[in-house]
Amino acid sequence: MSVLATNAITDAAGGNTATINSYTPTESNMAGRNKIINGSMVFDQRNAGASGTASGYTVDRFAYYGSQASKGTWQQNAGSVTPPTGFKNYLGFTSSSAYSVLSTDLFEIYQLIEGLNCIDLAFGTASASSVTFSFWVRSSLTGTFGGSLANSAGDRAYPFSYTISSANTWEQKSITIAGDTTGTWLTTNGIGIQVRFGLGSGSTYTGTANAWGSTNAIQPTGSVSVVGTSGATFYITGVQLEAGSVTTPFEHRQYGQELALCQRYYEEITLLPNMASPAQCFSTTGARGGIRFVTTKRASPDIAASGTFILSRADGSSASGVSLSFSSNAQTLYFNASGATSLVAGHATNLTNGTLTAASEL
């Protein structure tokens, strides 16, 4: 058993050492090192495992963009293959046709990392830290694939390459990238770093492999184009971006912790009869109330509603046909319900029978 003492750590093998059971704690291998959120593709709040073809968010924090419509389908656990050992989920893309990209085309899976989570990297300064990007990937194609890191403006990018050697086989990749000492890299609640997997890009969005450049390159010139082969598959999981030049094991955060990180950017609130939101009637037809978010949002979120909302009364009756309007800040959603009947001004009521979403994506 390892023992902690003043100015010393005694491990199970005996002796004072900074190494515990052959493992040396460092800044890069301690908890919180992974800049990627939902890198194991566990959470899919929007789609609940359903597939999609449009540009937009797939599993939590990962998005797809295609400059041409209907060139592929994305889905959590697409194709139902067995994930790598230690993982249960992955994000998959399947090409819908053999499409030849135009010069201005781009197809990608990406995550936008908040600038507040990138402060320690010091990109854009002489003290910029190297970063290591690692992930598991599986494709029906083989060859040299690519992706990139980029700043928020897309005027600084590092197109990286990696090789898939065996078709339909999970392979782990690791790329170490020297930190960018120039350019503007946000350390606010805006976009700090764009992390992108290329699925096919025209010459406007390609660049020199493994070098920083002043272009918006999605992937290196000559990379495999997944959208160029009908039925081609591309799956990823275990995505990690960390400071330093050492690849550490994937950081499996606690389930609730990872969910909370996702909910900073997107949260669903389901108002069931036994989980209603209290409100106060201000007239016979309307009521106002508020709902505290589970997690503080990145910024005041956009609110959307679905369902046939009801205001329930203290006597057990209810008022349907309710129309809602919203306002919000980073902590709370405020609603104004109107169009009800037979409410009593000053009395309490509950909003129920619907779903609200709060989106504060980058």
What CATH number should be reported for the domain holding residue 229?
Answer: 2.60.120.260
Q: What percent of the chain has pLDDT over 70?
A: 91
- Of 262, 284, 301, the residue that ends a domain is 262
39 domain residue, yes or no: no
Q: Does position 61 have pLDDT exceeding 70, yes or no? A: yes
**Cβ(110)–Cβ(196) under 8 Å?**
yes
- The pLDDT confidence band at residue 169, using thresholds 50, 70 and 90, is very high
Kindly calculate the radius of gyration of the chain based on its CA atoms and give it in whole angstroms.
24
In terms of domains, do 250 and 283 share one? no
In terms of domains, do 302 and 341 share one? yes
- Of 262, 294, 320, the residue that ends a domain is 262
Dist. CA 78–CA 95, nearest whole Å = 12
In terms of domains, do 149 and 236 share one? yes
In terms of domains, do 10 and 102 share one? no
The SS3 of residue 328 is strand
pTM across the whole model? 0.92
104 domain residue, yes or no: yes
- Of 205, 227, 262, the residue that ends a domain is 262
> For the ranges 38-42, 152-156, 336-340, which has the lowest average pLDDT?
336-340
> With b meaning 16 or more CB within 10 Å and e meaning fewer, what string describes 245-255?
eebbebbebee
41 domain residue, yes or no: no
In terms of domains, do 230 and 269 share one? no
In terms of domains, do 16 and 97 share one? no
Q: What is the pLDDT of residue 4?
A: 52
47 domain residue, yes or no: no
Dist. CA 95–CA 233, nearest whole Å = 6
> For the ranges 16-20, 84-88, 236-240, 341-345, which has the lowest average pLDDT?
16-20
In terms of domains, do 221 and 83 share one? yes
Q: pLDDT tens for residues 304-335?
A: 999 999 998 767 778 887 999 999 999 999 99
- Non-local CB neighbours of 30 within 8 Å, separated by 6+ positions: none
Q: Does position 23 have pLDDT exceeding 90, yes or no? A: no
Q: What is the pLDDT of residue 126?
A: 98
Closest CA to 66 of 55, 51, 57: 55
51 domain residue, yes or no: no
In terms of domains, do 98 and 214 share one? yes
In terms of domains, do 278 and 250 share one? no
In terms of domains, do 224 and 110 share one? yes
Q: pLDDT tens for residues 187-202?
A: 999 999 999 999 999 9
Q: What is the pLDDT of residue 25?
A: 61
Closest CA to 34 of 187, 254, 258, 242: 242
Q: What is the pLDDT of residue 316?
A: 73
CA atoms within 13 A on the CB side of 193: 24
- N residues, the chain: 362
Q: What is the pLDDT of residue 313?
A: 76
The number of helix segments (H) and strand segments (E) in the chain equals: 1, 25
In terms of domains, do 125 and 198 share one? yes
Average pLDDT, the chain: 93
How many domains in the chain?
Answer: 3
Handedness of CA 306, 307, 308, 310 (dihedral sign): negative
Q: What is the pLDDT of residue 276?
A: 76
Q: Which domain holds residue 293?
A: 265-359
